[in-house]
Structure 1
Amino acid sequence: MCRVMIGCPVRNRAWILPHYLQHLIALAYPPEQMEYCFVINDCTDETELILQEFAHRFPVRLLYDNSSRPGGWQRGFYQFSRLA
């Protein structure tokens, strides 16, 4: 089987993250072929702590995007500025 990475952006998801992580590790795919990547975006809750604890047990990359851009018309600016 091929090695896969599951990626997910997260922001203030401590309320649902444990449930989500349990479902990820329950996937019918060899655990040694899986890696996880989370982009943590300006979290103000326990999201980062939950993911750090998860990273002690599984191969996880934690990336941070704490640029604190304003919302409104600039929402999505990061995605559009990265298009080729």
Structure 2
Amino acid sequence: MYIVAIAWIYVVLLMAMTEPSFIAGFMTLIMYCVFPLSIVLYLMRTSQRKQKRIEKQAAPQQIPSTNEHASEQIKTGENH
């Protein structure tokens, strides 16, 4: 799907270069390329963001803090 976005960037860049002034070309680039593509690409990644959030919530926290680890060493008598 990114190939379509790249092709659209190319088309809009060519449109912007044919505008009579720099300001008009810049506004064409912003209004036809940056805003619409940012919205479309954000919506395309919605399912990936949702899946990543679910995986993050499902994964248990397995990293003990340094204080807990030190207290466990004292209790078991381990010296490293």
Larger helix proportion of the pair: 2
The TM-score normalised by the length of structure 2 is 0.28
Structure ID, larger Rg: 2
Higher relative contact order (CA 8 A, sep 6+): 1
The TM-score normalised by the length of structure 1 is 0.27
Larger strand proportion of the pair: 1
